[in-house]
Amino acid sequence: MKYLLVFAVVLVAFWVWRNDRRQEQAERQPRRAPPPPPAPVPMVACRHCGTHLPQTEAIQGAHGWYCCAGHRRLEDPPA
């Protein structure tokens, strides 16, 4: 009878441990795929004022990159 009680306690402990593991795995799965970091964008310096800005926001002139159309006009006057 004593061994039956020990066996029952072990069985309950195993069942509780298994339920805990299942819950942890269910909680972990949605968090497994974090959003990928944004792709790096090259930085360029304005030829007139030296301000660094992403290349996607810079304006390209004949001699280099500029932060705005005004600086491009000052350095790269249209011929």
| Contacting positions for Zn ion (CB under 5 A) | 46, 48-49, 51, 67, 71
d(CA 74, CA 19): 71
Which three-class secondary structure state does DSSP give residue 46?
A: coil
Nearer to Zn ion, 34 or 58 (CB): 58
Minimum Å gap between C-beta 45 and Zn ion is 9
Q: Least distance to Zn ion from the beta carbon of 79, Å?
A: 21
Instruction: Decide whether 21 or 63 has the Cβ nearer to Zn ion.
Output: 63
Give, as one character, the DSSP assignment of residue 57.
Answer: T
Contact 52, 43 (CB under 8 A): yes
